[in-house]
Amino acid sequence: MGKLEQSHIESQKTGLQRFVEGFCLVVCLCVLVLRATFTEAPNMPVINFFQPLSNDAISLIISSFLIAAVFLWFVFVFSCKNTKYRFSGIEVGVFIFFAAGVVSVFAASNKRAAITDLVTIISPLLMAVVLVQMLDSASKIKLVLLVVLALGVTSAHQCADQFLSSNDAMIRNYMNNPDPQLAALGIEEGTLEQFLYEHRLFSKDVRGFLTTSNSTGSFLLLAGFAGIGMVIEKVKHSFRAATASTICFVFFVGVVLAGLIFTQSKGALFAGAAAFVLFIIFLSFRGWIYRYRKSIIILILLAGAAFVFAVVCYGSTHGRLPGGNSMLVRWQYWVASAKMYVEKPFTGIGGGNFKTFYTYYKDPAAIETVKDPHSFVFSLLTQYGVFGLSGFVIAAIIPIFRGFFQKQIYVKRLSDSGDTFSLLESTALLAIITIFLFIRPMVKFDQLGSDARVIASVVLILYVMPASIFVSTFCFTFLAIKHYPYQEGFSVFVKPSILCGLVAVLAANLIDFAIFEPGVSMLFWLLAAVVVAIDYNNGSRQPVNLSGNAAVRYLVTAGLGVLVIVFISYALVPPVRAGVKMGRAAVSKVDPASKLLDSAIASDRLDPAAASFKGKMLLGHYDNLKTKEDSWLEAAVECFELAIDRDNADYKNFMNLGRTYELLSENKSDDKKQEMLKMAFELMKHAADRYPGSAEVQTDLGKISERTGDVLEALECYTKAIDIENAYRHQFEIMYPYQKVMSRLGEENYKFALERIKVLNTQRP
């Protein structure tokens, strides 16, 4: 693995232990690269029909590599006799968060979504705990930092491409022929969803490889601050000795910061600017900050409490937060989230369940239903309860507070590993190239076309270009720092800069959810592990000797082994099996698709998705039949009932089941018809209870009430529908004053409801 320098606190490790640690480190870096360079979207529907696996299955498979690396380290390193453990403080948070997550799974309506979300969030935290142990030398930390900087440059290039050309090309393609893009997203023409999609499209969101510009902004904040620390130290100590290499280093860091500007993420830019000021203050008053650390911590807590109080007061008074439309809707998200939290303050509603429960509490005027409250605090509070938030915050804050306020011991015994790549660095680079050129195409599932020239062009642009940028950046920066030992083990500039990047991301995500994006989460926790490892390598902290505690080592390893078995059996295998079958069903005819979906339903007994998908497929098939057969509807009823049994909180399954009973009533005798309509009405009432701000559900209730002869009930439902639609239209006019109002209910249904109100008012008993 090459000559790896050891800090004076490093325990003696066997060759097998070093090999395992090197292998696990490479695995973690490969997962980081993969997650940072494609849009990973757990708990989101699949919109690419060429994708054979569900988004959940892909995310779980990727997370399983992290969990496997963690397990390997515990089996081959932690459980050995010569174990010295580096306690990071992250462990406390992980334990609390995991316990809260398990409780939230049992409390969740959709337990499959809760399990997937828990795995996605906690696997990078477990990785961080193990990385603290593995990053025991300057060479390993340099390797990690170079990978981070190279990823930042690669992401910045993608941002520049979108900013300068590809977003404009996408808009031109949409203007010429919008149907392909709308069909790929499952959006109907003339709907509010189309308007919102066009609004995002024409805003030219520069999102890099991730889902939003805010996500990419957070990612580039982390990469940028890591690079800033490295380049300042490089400039300070070797500018005259190596001018060319220093300029090269400065250029790459500048590219990352330019990418951050391209994203135009206000939250990331403001947080980055504030964090840079914090960085300057820390460098200028490092000793003074340590001396008065207790007073400073108290002031920080008081300032935080005052800020929260001011935000609540302003929002309660004005019904919004200061700023543009984004702050108006965020206040609505947070008010609904506060109501949601009060209902289940200790257990939460379960990870991945926010979108389902949000409709319970959503302001009827609010334009969108969202899957996250756009605040990591509210996201954790609502889904994992107060203990889940506490665990996550403890895991994040302890490394940051210790990094800023712990007394440092600087050592200058560090030496570099030589002029050329060591075996570890060469292996890591080769593995990452494999990720770019072979694994990314397998998880992105891009359509390459049929013409050879088109295929070659797509492959070059989508896969070869990012790989080339990463490799060239990595190699140039590696050469720029050869022979160069970072002073005092990275503590002078690199560690404070990374800490400020972590603070910036936490601050930016007070009004966003980017920290839960897998790529951002991976980088956040990897850098958190780096700052803890730097302290241990410098001797500022001492590891715990576990050589005489064999029982503790074996119990911890065995416990983790049990958790891995549970993960494979309940979290990984069922959704992957079901996801494969659902992917095949999506491109099959109705009969084979039904069999595949039945198998998917049986494969995963927690997920409602396959049952719901089959029910909607059967309804669609029934609509296309020339001769209507009730057997299709009866089969759909069974599917929706099963979906409700697996997720009792989702209004859509109740609404679809109610509509199915409406269709069943059409060919029945009067008595049976009334019975079916009564069932449909009760189910629609359940849907309305779960989404009281839906004008569509209220309109359906009005139609059913008319068919049963209940004039007053129908009138009340139509009136509610119009009130909800009018409240929405009022907010639309506030947010988009120069746009024609796009009806959420649908112009036809809106006019229908108004007409029925007039007619029914004349028929009141």
Q: What is the pLDDT of residue 11?
A: 47
Give mean pLDDT, residues 547-576: 90
Three-class SS state of 85: strand
Q: Are 400 and 502 in contact (CB under 8 A)?
A: yes
Q: What is the band of 541 on the pLDDT scale with cuts at 50, 70, 90?
A: confident
User: Could you give the CA distance from residue 57 to residue 75 in angstroms, rounded to a whole number?
Assistant: 26
569 DSSP assignment: I
pLDDT tens, residue by residue, 713-756: 999 999 999 999 999 999 999 999 988 888 899 899 999 999 99
Q: How far apart are the first and last CA of the chain?
A: 88
Task: Give me the pLDDT at residue 10, please.
Answer: 45
Give the dihedral of Cα atoms 299, 304, 307, 308; nearest 10 deg: -150
pLDDT of residue 48: 66
Percent with pLDDT over 90 in the chain = 66
Q: How far apart (Å, rounded) are the C-alpha atoms in residues 437 and 460?
A: 10
Alpha-carbon torsion, ordered 528, 530, 536, 539, to 10 deg: -110
Residue 531 · residue 282 · CB < 8 Å = no
DSSP tag of 407: P
Does 417 have pLDDT greater than 50?
A: no
Collapse the DSSP code of 84 into the 3-class scheme (helix H, G, I; strand E, B; otherwise coil) and give the result: strand
Instruction: State pLDDT tens for residues 64-96.
Output: 999 999 999 999 989 887 788 999 999 999 999
List the one residue out of 577, 616, 631, 623 whose CA is nearest residue 600: 577
321 half-sphere exposure, CB direction, 13 A CA radius: 18
Least confident of 174-183, 369-378, 599-608, 681-690: 174-183
CATH code of domain 594-762: 1.25.40.10
228, HSE (Cβ side, Cα atoms, 13 Å): 23
Quote the distance between the C-alpha of residue 77 and its chain's center.
Answer: 31
pLDDT of residue 604: 95
Backbone angles phi, psi at 455, to 5 degrees: -60, -45
DSSP structural state of residue 514:
G
pLDDT of residue 173: 84
* CB atoms inside a 10 Å sphere around CB 316: 10
Report in angstroms the alpha-carbon separations of 275 from 151, 221, 269, 504, 508.
Answer: 21, 10, 10, 5, 10
Residue 3 has pLDDT above 60, yes or no: no
Whether 473 contacts 521, CB under 8 Å: no
- Cα 685–Cα 690–Cα 692 angle in degrees, nearest 5: 75
Reduce the DSSP state of residue 364 to 3 states and report it: coil
| Distance between CA atoms of residues 263 and 205, nearest Å | 7
- Give phi and psi for 84, each to the nearest 5: -120, 120
- Residue range 186-215: mean pLDDT, rounded: 84
Q: Which of 296-305, 415-424, 467-476, 597-606 has the lowest mean pLDDT?
A: 415-424
Distance CA 118, CA 265 (A): 27
Give the best-scoring range by mean pLDDT among 5-9, 97-101, 227-231, 670-674. Answer: 97-101
Query: In the chain, which segments carry CATH 1.25.40.10?
Result: 594-762
Alpha-carbon distance of 348 to 342, in angstroms, equals 9
Q: Which residues contact 102 (CB under 8 A, 6 or more apart)?
A: 118
> Hey, what are 446's tokens?
């891009």
pLDDT of residue 676: 93
The answer to whether residues 351 and 317 touch, using CB atoms and an 8 Å cutoff, is: no
Angle at 525 between CA 523 and CA 529, to 5 degrees: 115
Using pLDDT thresholds of 50, 70 and 90, give the confidence band for residue 239.
Answer: low
- pLDDT band for position 545 (cuts 50, 70, 90): confident
Least confident of 28-37, 192-201, 415-424, 673-682: 415-424
180 vs 473: which has the higher pLDDT: 473
**pLDDT of the residue at 9:** 39
Specify the range with the lowest mean pLDDT, choosing from 70-79, 120-129, 522-531: 70-79
Let me know: does 30 contact 433? Beta carbons within 8 Å: no
Q: Which tens digits make up the pLDDT trace of 450-500? A: 677 877 888 898 899 999 999 999 998 888 776 565 656 688 899 999 999
- CA distances in angstroms from 433 to 147, 443, 448, 455, 470, listed in the order given: 12, 15, 20, 20, 9
Residue 204: what pLDDT? 80
Question: What value does the mean pLDDT of the chain take?
Answer: 89
Both tokens assigned to 749: 């249904």
What Cα–Cα distance (Å) separates residue 173 from each residue in 180, 210, 646, 676?
A: 9, 21, 41, 47
Cα–Cα nearest to 5, from 309, 482, 414: 414
**Alpha helices by DSSP H, 111-242:** 111-134, 138-161, 167-176, 179-185, 192-202, 213-238
Residue 492 and residue 220 in contact, taking contact as beta carbons nearer than 8 Å: no
Contact 137, 5 (CB under 8 A): yes
DSSP tag of 408 = P
Q: Which residue do the tokens 């509010």 mark? A: 192
pTM of the predicted model, to two decimals?
A: 0.94
Integer CA distances (angstroms), 165 to 180, 184, 448, 711, in order:
20, 22, 20, 58
Q: What is the pLDDT of residues 134-146, one digit of tens each?
A: 999 888 999 999 9
Span 352-358, average pLDDT: 95
Task: Give the H/E segment covering residue 477.
Answer: helix 465-480
d(CA 702, CA 745): 14
Per-residue pLDDT of 42-54, as tens digits, reads: 877 776 666 778 8
362 falls in which pLDDT band (50, 70, 90)? very high
Largest CA distance in the chain: 95
Query: What is d(CA 651, CA 657) in angstroms, rounded to the nearest whole number?
Result: 10
Asked whether the predicted pLDDT for residue 242 surpasses 60, the reply is no
Strand pairing class (544-545; 84-85): antiparallel
Q: Closest Cα to residue 143, out of 238, 284, 1?
A: 1
CA nearest to 60, candidates 31, 33, 100: 31
Mean pLDDT lowest among 242-246, 281-285, 761-765? 242-246
Ordered alpha helix ranges (H), 666-746: 670-690, 695-708, 711-735
* φ, ψ (nearest 5 deg) of residue 415: -130, 155
181 — pLDDT class (breaks 50, 70, 90): confident
> Residue 312 belongs to what H/E stretch?
helix 293-318
Rounded-to-integer distance, Cα 444 and Cα 52, Å: 11
Distance of alpha carbon 403 from alpha carbon 225, whole angstroms: 15
Residue 72: its pLDDT value, please?
95
308 token code pair: 């929260």
Report pLDDT for 698. 96
